[in-house]
Chain A
Amino acid sequence: NAGVMQNPRHLVRRRGQEARLRCSPMKGHSHVYWYRQLPEEGLKFMVYLQKENIIDESGMPKERFSAEFPKEGPSILRIQQVVRGDSAAYFCASSQEGPGLLNTQYFGPGTRLTVL
């Protein structure tokens, strides 16, 4: 059973460009979460999605950031017009649905975004 997959693992963008980060959850998992981690800091919640629905986006910046989890394909975190402050590691986690199982999250390897 493959774990949570993220790509690319490293992404370099210049200021003003767009960054697209992809996350494929574990097989059988229908819940996806995105977190941002700055160097030497903790995990900051960004957004929680189920297939075709955003459940909680309270951690997402109001501008430039968006996320989706379509019926088919991976979840996408999109950052438009990137700035240097967007440089961070972005982790995706997934969990499965079911009594007692809903909230165990498994993390992907992360995408390290560098904005030049």
Chain B
Amino acid sequence: GENVEQHPSTLSVQEGDSAVIKCTYSDSASNYFPWYKQELGKRPQLIIDIRSNVGEKKDQRIAVTLNKTAKHFSLHITETQPEDSAVYFCAASQNTGGFKTIFGAGTRLFVKA
């Protein structure tokens, strides 16, 4: 089955710096890769996703890149702000019936003011 590994487990950056979180997946059939942000005590919220027919997607300060050959994808946050502090989860899934989404273990991001 699918296995998703996420690194680093903890990331501390200075406000204004960039943050990069990396994930690898094992199942070449996976074709959908969402990223979720979870603040303390709150629900995971979808912040960006990418499908396997594109290599990069950007939404303001957040971007995601996908390398299908190497089976890895990354989240990039530029100009970090204290409110970006949260746990970020990557995930991998297939757009076929009977699938399930496999989540990475999470990255705890601290943005220091």
Among B45, B46, B89, B94, chain A packs the most CB atoms within 10 A around the CB of B46
Number of interface residues of B (CB under 8 A): 24
**Given A100-B95, A103-B93, A103-B95, A42 contacting B103 (CB threshold 8 A):** yes
CB closest residue in chain B, given A101: B95
| B93 with A107: CB separation less than 8 A | no
| B43 with A104: CB separation less than 8 A | no
Q: How far is the CA of A55 from the CA of B46 in the complex (A)?
A: 23
| A48 with B43: CB separation less than 8 A | no
Is chain A's binding surface mostly helix, strand, loop or mixed? Answer: loop
Among B43, B105, B106, chain A packs the most CB atoms within 10 A around the CB of B43
Among A41, A43, A58, A102, chain B packs the most CB atoms within 10 A around the CB of A43
Contacting A105 at CB < 8 Å: which of B51, B95, B97, B101? B101
Contact flags B97-113 to A (C-beta < 8 A → 1, else 0): 11111111110000000
| B32 with A45: CB separation less than 8 A | no
Given contacts A41-B106, A42-B89, A104-B49, 5 further A-B contacts (CB under 8 A): A42-B106, A45-B102, A45-B103, A100-B51, A103-B99
Q: How far is the CA of A42 from the CA of B89 in the complex (A)?
A: 8
Interface residues, chain A, CB within 8 Å of chain B? Answer: 33, 35, 41-43, 45, 48, 55-56, 58, 91, 100, 102-110
Interface residues, chain B, CB within 8 Å of chain A? Answer: 32, 34, 36, 42-46, 49, 51, 89, 93-95, 97-106
Contacting B43 at CB < 8 Å: which of A56, A102, A110? A110
Q: How far is the CA of A33 from the CA of B89 in the complex (A)?
A: 16
Q: How far is the CA of A109 from the CA of B103 in the complex (A)?
A: 18
Q: Which residues of A contact B93 (CB under 8 A)?
A: 103
Q: Which residues of A contact B51 (CB under 8 A)?
A: 100
CB distance from A95 to the nearest CB of B (A): 9
| B49 with A56: CB separation less than 8 A | no
CB distance from B89 to the nearest CB of A (A): 6
CB closest residue in chain A, given B30: A103
Contacting B89 at CB < 8 Å: which of A43, A55, A102? A43
CB closest residue in chain B, given A106: B46
